[in-house]
Each structure stands twice: as structure tokens, then as C-alpha cells.
Amino acid sequence: MGLFNWFTQEIAMDLGTANTLIIHNEEVVVNEPSIVALDRNNLKTVLAVGKRALMMHEKTHESIRTIRPLKDGVIADFNAAELMIREMIKMIYPKKPLFPPSWRMMICIPSSITEVEKRAVRDSAEQAGAKEVYLLHEPMAAALGIGIDVEEPVGNMIIDIGGGTTGITVIALAGIVCDQSIRIAGDEFTADIMEALRRYHSLLIGERTAEQIKIQIGAAMKDLETPPDDIPVNGRDLVTGIPKQIMVSYQEVAEALDKSIFKIEEAILKALETTPPELAADIYRRGLYLTGGGALLRGLDKRLSQKIKLPVHVADDPLKSVVRGTGIALKNYQRFPFIMR
């Protein structure tokens, strides 16, 4: 058994719709977009993965296919997911080791996931070379990553706005008390921006451009204290069919995202309604914790706290809090009761 332990390496993985992060030896070694470029003639041949594949996305010819294997937080394309996980694990060791280690993997999954989808994650990881696979619910990982003591008898509300899903969860005593999950998150915001530019400027833009707009000037409110500058956006004019450039302000983006953010607010209120009263009292004292990439939207914390009238705290590094928590859980994988074997 000692020899087996010698070759066992531990990695913690946040397999997200938009980004995949891997922690090895307590540091983030892989932080890449969840996308893979495959050869259409032979779908087992990986041409690129992560940032390089993202650069090819929506610019490919007929013999290259870019796939985002995860949709709404769960695996949609099994073959592509397995290839992507395998390539990302290879990034940990740029030089090929003499004895390839056997991996002990901790992967976090959305809390609204079905048994079949859970199986898909486990199978993908095992196909990619994991000897032991442990699963962990994302809100738990996020709470650990923010630095909350999840085992104490106090309620905490975690709002994780990821790429595919927004999870709103109340955690107490190392378990999930109530849980709302809606499929409105980063990808939906991106689609809203594309739709708004098409409708108001008759400009057709791609997913990547919309994503850049969201990152550079995305906002949840129309009056920010430190507003970002307008940015030029290039696309195809729908009327003439000729490429053109327009200037876009953050107010337009805030208006485009308004409906989706309203749905997130509704879901938070719904989750608060189902919270037991003692935990609701704790949440009143402690406030809500925002994490995930969506938490970086300018003014979102302010807008939510105005609507819900509770303090809203954004995690320090919201993109990495889930994977950090997964790393903490992996170190104590025998101790925590909420880890799925």
C-alpha cells in the first residue's frame, strides 16, 4: 500500500461550463477555458485545448471542430469531455514522467445534478486516468474556498454564478439545507449581449466578442460610481452585410442583462422563502456570499443588496474560490462527511 501511495498524486478539479481549473500541490496549475478543438475526420485527435482552442472557436474551417463539452454545468459531450480532462491533466507535467502517477481526483459538480450526470463525470475522470474519484457539491467547495467554517451550526447562503448555472444554496452543519438552481448565468449573459446588439444596432457579433464586452464593460446597474469607458465593437452589419464598428457603453450592457439578473434575484428570494427561520436569522446577520465568474459583474453586489436588503459580500477571488475549496476538501477527504465516494 505504501508503494501505491508513493505514486498517487492528488488533484482537485473545478470542471466548469466556461473554465476548468486544477489544483495540484496546493497551487492552481491549470486555469483554462473548457473548450477543445478536434479533427473532424478523426474525433479522437485533439488539435488544441483551453486558450488555444478558444482562439480557434467560431473561426474554424470544415475539418476542425471546436466543442464545449459542458453545458449548464453538466457533461453534454462525453468523448470531448474525456479528451479535454486528459489533455488538461497532461498540462500539469509538461515533461512526460517516467512512471505516470495514478491520480486521486476530487471534482466538484453542481448540486442540482442527476445520478446519470454524476455518473458521466465519474466515468470521464476514470477514462482520463483517475484511480480514485471523489465528488463534491460546488456550493460546499465555494464555502470552503471563501473561508467559511461549514461544520458549525450556522446558516450561510452561497450564490455561485458560474458559466452555465447559478446555484443558490443555504449551508449549515456540513450539509446543504435548501438549494435553488437556475440555468441563467454567464453564458446567458453573453447571449443577451449578442441579442441586444443585433436588435438595437443590427450588428451581428460572435460569442467571443460578446464575452469580451461582458468582461470589459459588463455591469448590473446603469449608475456606477466608477463607470468603465465605452469600447469599440466590431461585427457584421445585418443590413448591408459589410463589417462595421460601433461604440458600446456599459449602460447598454446593463440594460441587456437586466432581465437575466432579475431572474437571479427572483431565485434568491425563492430560496430565502424556503429557508428555515433559525437559519434565516443567521443569514440576516451574516449576509449573502457571491462567488463564481458572474460575481465580477460591476455593481451586481450593490443591486442584489438593494433588492434583498441584506449585505452581499463578494469573495476575494471569485473565479478560484470553488477550486480552492475543492483543494481543501481533498486534503481532508477522510474527515468531511459531505464528500461523495
Which residues line the annotated binding site?
A: 17-19, 163-165, 211-214, 293-296
Strand, coil or helix: 335: coil
**291 strand-pairing partners:** 160
Give the residue ranges of the annotated binding site for ATP: 17-19, 163-165, 211-214, 293-296
Question: What is d(CA 60, CA 58) in angstroms, rounded to the nearest whole number?
Answer: 6
CB 174 within 8 A of CB 136: no
Question: What is d(CA 97, CA 95) in angstroms, rounded to the nearest whole number?
Answer: 6
Cβ-based neighbour number of residue 166 at 10 Å: 25
Burial-class residue 225 by CB neighbours within 10 Å (0-12, 13-18, 19+): exposed
- First-to-last CA distance in the chain? 19
Question: What is d(CA 248, CA 165) in angstroms, rounded to the nearest whole number?
Answer: 27
Give the count of alpha carbons within 13 A of 143, CB side only: 27
